[in-house]
């Protein structure tokens, strides 16, 4: 039985290198770094004092002033990206059956800034001063709820949390929901806004973050031998997934096709990847097989590529195992070198980058790549974007807890 085809018809983003898709697109092509000194709070007491922050974002452009105080930044970024994606899709919501449009949007951490602020408030003034809005500001499922409420979308909401694999898994879950017949259209993606004292401090104390404080623009350097940790980022990426026949009936612009998803678990360690990478390879291979393809059909890999020593080494080993003797011929790049690591939102904005790769026939680079690491011996598209007529993309994300998620994306061919 032929499976329902699902295409991507709208993109929306708020990121450290651009607060809309055209700006993001230009930043990727230019190899722009979005990393700089932290401005959202005083980070002087921390070992890591840099992050990839969203700049010049005004929530009052999207919310009434009273509602800004009732929502966390993680919801605000998501709504802004969703609004752009819906406009870009040219969906006429007045003509659509809103009961057939769902919202599958998630986050790795949720409303951390609100939680942190209110805990400090309790310590000083006691529990009676807690905001009655804390719980909805904090909960991950308030993010799709905010979007569904704004646009009156009744097709159901979902928020699957799998740490830094959350955004990619959410896209795959949306794919399967459309194939099941649950919806015709799904607004999907992820948002994270954990650049706070608690967020940065906790990851820094795990020694997961770069401490290249004096050179922030070169701090995120995936696969480079001198990498010393990831750089925290914030932002949101939202995509409109749509059943192909529905998209064709309304003559929608199609960016590309989402072909498959596979999920596995390392069952190895809470924060470290299994160095043997068996389950990472199984996720990649299964996603490719479910797409009806073989590894020979993959002509670009958008990597998880966090810029941590263990993650990049393990991912490189997994790709060598997957592609065998052909591994050095397959371009691999990590756009985290530009955006930093957006935690649960990373996979969503990286999938948008993949759609722009297909659109522009341009593989975006791994910037800050200077020193070859013999444990990472692949073609990482160093520093400069590369022209390429990409047809099939393997996109993987990995999260604390041993979550491995791979999806396969393709150029739409009528």
DSSP designation for 400: T
H or E element in which residue 8 lies? strand 6-14
Hey, which residues are catalytic here?
164
């Amino acid at each position: 039985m032929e499976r329902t085809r699902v295409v991507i018809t709208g993109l929306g983003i708020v990121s450290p290198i651009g607060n809309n898709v055209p700006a993001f697109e230009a930043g990727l092509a230019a190899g722009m770094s979005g990393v700089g000194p932290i401005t959202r709070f005083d980070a002087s007491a921390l070992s890591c004092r840099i992050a990839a922050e969203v700049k010049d974002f005004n929530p009052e452009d999207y919310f009434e002033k009273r509602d800004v105080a009732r929502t966390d930044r993680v919801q605000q970024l998501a709504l802004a990206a969703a609004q752009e994606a819906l406009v870009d899709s040219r969906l006429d919501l007045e003509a659509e059956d809103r009961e057939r449009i769902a919202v599958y949007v998630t986050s790795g951490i949720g409303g951390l800034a609100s939680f942190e602020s209110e805990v400090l408030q309790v310590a000083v003034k006691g529990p009676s001063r807690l905001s009655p809005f804390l719980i909805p500001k904090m909960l991950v499922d308030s993010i799709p709820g905010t979007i569904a409420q704004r646009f009156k979308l009744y097709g159901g909401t979902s928020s699957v949390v799998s740490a830094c694999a959350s955004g990619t898994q959410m896209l795959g879950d949306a794919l399967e929901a459309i194939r099941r017949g649950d919806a015709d259209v799904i607004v999907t993606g992820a948002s994270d806004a954990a650049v706070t004292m608690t967020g940065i401090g906790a990851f820094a104390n795990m020694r997961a973050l770069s401490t290249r404080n004096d050179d922030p623009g070169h701090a995120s350097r995936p696969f480079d031998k001198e990498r010393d940790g990831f750089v925290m980022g914030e932002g949101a990426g939202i995509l409109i997934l749509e059943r192909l026949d529905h998209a064709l009936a309304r003559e929608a612009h199609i960016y590309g096709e989402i072909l498959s998803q596979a999920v596995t678990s390392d069952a190895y360690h809470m924060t470290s990847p299994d160095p043997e990478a068996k389950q990472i390879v199984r996720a990649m291979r299964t996603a490719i097989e479910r797409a009806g393809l073989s590894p020979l059909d993959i002509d670009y890999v958008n990597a998880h590529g966090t810029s941590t020593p263990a993650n990049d080494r393990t991912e490189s080993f997994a790709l060598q195992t997957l592609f065998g003797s052909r591994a050095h011929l397959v371009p691999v790049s990590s756009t985290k070198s530009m955006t930093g690591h957006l935690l649960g939102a990373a996979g969503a904005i990286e999938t948008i980058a993949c759609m722009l790769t297909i659109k522009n026939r341009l593989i975006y680079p791994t910037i800050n790549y200077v020193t070859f690491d013999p444990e990472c011996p692949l073609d990482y598209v160093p520093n400069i974007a590369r022209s390429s007529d990409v047809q099939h993309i393997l996109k993987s994300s990995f999260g604390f807890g041993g979550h491995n998620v791979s999806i396969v994306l393709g150029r739409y061919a009528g």
